[in-house]
Every structure is written in C-alpha cells, then in structure tokens.
Structure 1
Amino acid sequence: MKKTSTRLADGRELIYYDSADDTVRDAVDPRPLDPISTTSEIRHDALLGDSVAIASHRQGRTYHPPADECPLCPSRDGRHSEIPGDDYDVVVFENRFPSLAGDSGRCEVVCFTADHDASFADLTPEQAGLVLEAWTDRTAELAEHPHIEQVFCFENRGAEIGVTLGHPHGQIYGYPFTTPRTALMLRSLDAHAERTGGRNLFDDLVERERTEGERVVLATDHWTAFVPYAAHWPYEVHLYPTRRVPDLRALDDAARTEFPQVYLELLRRFDRIFGQGEPPTPYIAAWHQAPFGDPRRDAFALHLELFTIRRTSGKLKFLAGSESGMSVFINDVPPEAAARRLREVASAS
C-alpha cells in the first residue's frame, strides 16, 4: 500500500491509498474555497449522562446531487470535485461539513472506489483489503490526536438509511469521549467478569454462538459471523475475529488476509435476502473499537455490526414509540430465522 497525503484548497487533509507502490498523486485542488468554519460543539445531557453534538453548519451540506455533480467522483473533464485527481483507488479526506471538529473531534469521508455506480459488495478482495488498510491507518493516526478517545469507522448504504450522496463511501468519526453504546458494553463486560470469576464476556458470547450454531451465518478459521441472540434489527450480523483484539491495528496477517472474502460474502448475502428484483438492501456497517484510554481496552473485542432497517420486501423497520421513546426494541424477525435465511442465500461454491 502507498499512502500520499495532500491538502485541499480550503486546507483540509486528503489522503490517497493506492495498491501500487509506484502510483503518483500530484494533482492540485484549483477550487476557490474559503477556509472551513464550523459551529460544532459537544453538550452533555445531565439526565441521561451522554453527549450530543450540536452542528448547525451541517444544514447546508450537499444533498442528493445528480450523478454528474457528485463531489466524491474524481475530477474529470473540467469538473472539480473533492478529489483533485482524475482517478483513485481509495481516498480519505476531512469532511467539509463535519459533525465533530477541532476540540470536539474529527470527521472523515472514505471513498471506497472511483466507480460512482458500484457498491462495497462490487469490490474485488484486493480493493476491500485496501479499504481495511485505510481504516487501520486512520485508526492509528487518530489514536495520536490529543482530543480523540474513540474511533468509529462505518458505512451507511441506501437512501432509506438517510444517505445523501450515492457514491460508495463511508465515514470515520473520532469522538472526544467514549460513546454511550461502548460504555454499555464495558459495563456489561465488568458485570460478566464479576459474575463468572473473571471470564471475558465477548469470548463467551462468540463461543456460545459457535457451539450452538443455530445463529451462525458464516464461520472460517479467523472470523465468525452470527445473528445475535437478542438482535435489535430484522437482519443483523455481528462479525468477530477468532483472536480477540481491541481494535483494527491489532488484527494479525491471517485475519487481514481472510477478511475481504468474508465481508464481501456477507454484503452480497444481504443484497439477496429479499429475493430477485428487490432494490439493493439498505444497511449500516459499523466497526466497534475499544476506547484508547480505557483500562479495559485489552478485554474489549473488536467487531463489526452489520444490519438493515428493511424487515421484509417493501417494508422498513421504523423506530417508533418503544424504540425511540424508551430504547426498547421490538424485532419482527426471530434471530434464528434471520440466520437461516442468510445461510440460504450463500454464494454458490
């Protein structure tokens, strides 16, 4: 992998990640952009104990542009986008409309491919492996940021999820705090260790799923994918490396080599859940990594959570009163049935 860092016209950092070591990236951003000005701030909710990012400048962000005006496509034929070059493998750059900025953290955009009409599932294993290297490199870089405590790499796919740019891309958030979801996991981790004489909750969860097998979707030497016992979403898969590690930086070479095939297979199965003729399945894919300064980080387990809000053909799972008002999820699809369906739509060998 070759990494080339440059700056956009307004001072934001942009990084090319290329498979070929001899690739040259020297295009300059000619746009007359003013320096970025943000209003992002973090406010603490005294009642719930969590934090909320207030970012009013995001009201003016780009919203569903036509394909020929996509800001994530390469700059070509006299049209200048967020990427100055006329082609790229993988690109990461600072978000022009960040939810978090400065002392409040950092937001980055990850473009998986220059092909506007592709999706992550269309990538080759080599391309997917390069994205994994970019996620890992950004985690390592942001770990050195004085105001960042946790890094979250994720992808939103589909208009139903709220995606405003159709080009295949994801994001990376560097939070200045431990996120509420991770804090809940850490509390459960502590409680399990106390209850079981020091056993690790993540290890026990994965072992249980591999032993029972009913909810396992895909298992290899280095990864296990399963529908969780108490899945919140209609189709939800958690993917764990066999060797527990706290974040992407600690994955070994064997797990890195096997990841692209495993992940691409899961994404392709998601697109086949509801049968032929259905539009692409909307989903969120989210990497859960340990906070950097937490004393329990070595007990945390890196894992990816992949889920869709589509519950059946033509119908979405909306967060209504119980979910939005009280955080009590009601799932219409039994996890065992979801796992069975995801096994049924496996790629032909």
Structure 2
Amino acid sequence: MKKTSTRLADGRELLYYDSRDDAVRDAVDPRPLDPIATTSQIRRDPLLGDCVAIASHRQGRTYHPPADECPLCPSRDGRQSEIPAAEYEVAVFENRFPSLAGDAGRCEVVCFTSDHDASFADLTEEQAALVLEAWTDRTAELAELPGVRQVFCFENRGAEIGVTLGHPHGQIYAYPFVTPRTALMLRSLAAHLAETGRNLFDDVVARERADGTRVVLEGEHWVAFVPYAAHWPYEVHLYPKRRVPDLRGLDDGARTEFPQIYLELLRRFDRIFGPGEPPTPYISAWHQAPFGTSGFAPEFALHLELFTVRRTSGKLKFLAGSESGMNVFINDVPPETAAARLREVASE
C-alpha cells in the first residue's frame, strides 16, 4: 500500500491510498475555498453523564446533490470536487462539515471507490483489503492525536439511514471521550471478569459458536453471528477469532480473510428481502478499544456490528417511545430467524 498526503485549498488534509507503489498523486485543488470555521462544542449531560456534540455549522452541509455534482467523485471535465485527482482507489479527507473539530476531535470521510454508482458490496477483495488498510492506518494516526480517546470507523448506507451523499463512502470519528456504548461494554467486561475470571467477549463468541443456531458465516479467522439479544431486525456481529483490541492488532491471516467474509455478509444483506427489492439500508460500525485509559480497555475485543433498519419488505424499524425514550429495544424478528435467513441467502 502507498499513502500520499496532500492538502485541499482550505487547508484540510487529503490522503490517497493506492495498491501500487508507483502511483503518483500530484493534482492540486484549485478551488477558491475559505478556511474552514467550525463551531463544534462538546457538552456533558449532567443527568446521563454522556456527551453531546453541538455543531450548528452542519446545517449548511451538502444535501443529496445530483450525480454530476457529487463532491466525492474525482475531479474531471472541468468540475472540481473534494478530490482533485481524475481517478483514485481509496481517498480519505477531513470533513468539510465536521461534527467534531479542533479540541473536540476530528471527522474524516473515507471514499471506498471512485465509482459513484457502486457500493461496498461491489468492491473486489483487493479493493476491500485496501479499505481495511486505510481504516487501520487512520486508527493508528488518529490515536496519536492529543486528546483523542477513541476512533470509530463506520459506514451509513441508504436514504433510510439519513445518508445525504449517494457515493459509496464511510466516515471516521476521533472522539475526545469514551463513547457511552463502549463505556457500557467496559463495565460489563469488568463485572464478568470479577464474577468468572474470564473475558466476556471470549465467552460470548464461544457460546455462539458452540450453540451454532445464530452463526451466519465462519472462516478460519473470523466468525459472524446474530447476537442472542439482537436489538435490530437483522443484525450481525463479526469478530476475529483471535481477540485484539483494535484494527492495528489484526494479523496477516485475519487481514487476508476479512474481504471474503465481509463482502459475503454485505451481499447477503442485499438479498434478505428477496429479488426486486431496493438495496438494503444499513449501518456498519467498527467497535475498537479506547486509548489512553487504564482498566479493562486492553481486554476489549475488536468487532464489527452490521445492522439494517428495514424489518421487512417496505417497512422500517422506527425507534419510537420505548427505544428513543427509555433505550429499551423491541425486536420484531427473532435472532434465530434472522440468522436462518442470512444463511439461506448465501452466495452460490
């Protein structure tokens, strides 16, 4: 992999990731952009103890532009985008409308491919492997920034999720705090260790593999299953069999096998609801251990959580009173049924 770092016209960092060492990335951003001015703040809720990012400048962000004005496509035919090159493999740049900025963290956009009409599931294994390398590299670099406590790589796909740009892309958030969801996992991890002397993540994976009814896909280095208490109608958790705290810890075997496993999962998601259905909207989220913390963070297990808000053909799972008001999920699809369906739609 070759990484090339450059700057956009307003000073934001742009990174190209190429599979070939002889790739040349010397295109200059000619746009007359003003320096970015953000108003991001982190405010702590005194009742819940969690943090909220206040980012009023995001109200003016780009919203569903026509394909020929997509800011994530390469620059060509006299039209300048966020990526000055006429083509690229994987590109990462600082978000122009970040939720987190300065002392409040950092937000980056990850463009998986220059093909506007593709999706992650359309990538080759080689392309998906390059995205994994980019995620890993960004995790390593962002972890070194002063004040960053956790790095979150994720993809939102589909208008139902709230995506405002159709180009295949994801994001990376570098939080200046440990997220509430991770803090809950760390507390459960500590309690389980105190009670049993064992690692909670190891026990969860071992239980799912032994039971087998919710296992969707298993390789030499990865296992994917619908969790016993799945929150979402179709939800899959993907774990490396050798526990590591974050993407940096994956060995060569896990890195080689990941594209095969992950691309198959995404393609199965698109077949859940049968032929003729639109692409399945989903959120794909890497959970990594926080940095600069003592306690049980080193015992955390890297894993990816993939889920859709679609519960059946033409119907969405809305977070209504119980979910939004009290954070108590009600799932209409039994996890065992979801797992069986995801096995049923395996590639031939």
TM bin, normalised by shorter chain, reads: over 0.9
The one-character-per-residue Cα deviations of 1:301-325 (angstroms, maximum 9, x if unpaired) are: 0000000000000000000000000
Q: Aligned residue pairs: how many? A: 347
Cross-structure match for 1:82: 82
Aligned to 2:343: 343
Residue 242 in 1 paired to residue 241 in 2? yes
In 1, Cα distance between equivalents of 2:343 and 2:28: 47
CA deviations 1:86-107 (Å, max 9, x no partner) are: 0000000000000000000000
* Correspondence for 2:30: 30
Identity %: 84
1:102 corresponds to which letter in structure 2? G
SS at match of 2:151: strand
The SS at the match of 2:279 is: coil
Match of 1:287 in 2: 286
Distance between the aligned counterparts of 2:120 and 2:219, measured in 1? 21
TM-score norm. by structure 2 comes to 0.99
**What is the aligned partner in structure 1 of residue 263 from structure 2?**
264
Asked if 1:204 corresponds to 2:215, the answer is no
Q: Which residue of 1 aligns with 2:122?
A: 122
Provide the residue aligned with 2:315 in structure 1: 315
Q: Which of structure 1's runs of 4+ aligned residues deviate more than 2 A?
A: none
Distance in 2 between residues matched to 1:128 and 1:220, nearest whole Å: 17
| 1:275 partner amino acid | G
SS at match of 1:72: coil
Alignment partners' CA distance in 1, 2:292 and 2:299 = 13
Distance 1:156 1:310 in 2: 13
Counterpart of 2:187, as a letter, is R
Partner residue in 2 for 1:175: 175
Note the C-alpha offset of 1:293: 1.5
1:104 aligned residue: 104
- After the TM superposition, which residues 208-247 of structure 1 pair with which residues of structure 2 at under 5 Å, given as runs? 208-247=207-246
Q: Deviations over 1:43-97 (max 9, x none)?
A: 0000000000000000000000000000000000000000000000000000000
SS at match of 2:337: helix
Residue 195 of structure 1, CA deviation: 1.2
* TM-score between the two structures when normalised by the length of structure 1: 0.99
Q: Distance in 1 between matches of 2:253 and 2:293?
A: 27
Look up the SS of the partner of 1:3 in the other structure.
Answer: strand
What amino acid is the match of 2:227? P
Structure 1: give runs of 5+ residues left out of the alignment. none
Question: Counterpart of 1:127 in 2: which secondary structure?
Answer: helix
The residue type paired with residue 202 of structure 2 is D
* Offset at residue 135 of structure 1 (A): 0.1
Q: What is the aligned-residue RMSD (CA, Å)?
A: 0.4
Deviations 1:243-264 (A, max 9, x none): 0000000000000000000000
For each residue in 1:84-138, what CA deviation from the matched residue of structure 2 results, as whole angstroms up to 9, or x when unmatched?
0000000000000000000000000000000000000000000000000000000
- Looking at structure 1, the residues matched to 2 and 290 of structure 2 have their Cα atoms a distance apart, in angstroms, of 28
- Distance in 2, matches of 1:294 and 1:133, equals 25
Q: Partners of 2:70 and 2:44 in 1: how far apart? A: 36
1:147 deviation in Å?
1.6
Deviations 1:195-245 (A, max 9, x none): 11x200000000000000000000111001000000000000000000000
Report the equivalent of 1:49.
49
Counterparts of 1:194 and 1:119 in 2: how far apart (Å)?
44
In structure 2, the residue corresponding to 1:165 is in which secondary structure?
coil
SS at match of 1:155: strand
Secondary structure of the residue aligned to 1:31 is coil
Q: Tell me, which stretches of 5 or more residues in structure 2 are unaligned? A: none
> Match of 2:242, as an amino acid?
R
Q: What's 2:94 paired with?
A: 94
Q: Which amino acid aligns with 2:181?
A: R
Q: For the residues of structure 2 that align with 1:137 and 1:228, how far apart are their CA atoms? A: 29
The amino acid that maps onto 2:121 is A
SS at match of 1:194: helix
> What is the Cα deviation at residue 294 of structure 1?
2.1
Counterpart secondary structure, 1:27: coil
| Residue aligning to 2:39 | 39
In 1, Cα distance between equivalents of 2:298 and 2:11: 36
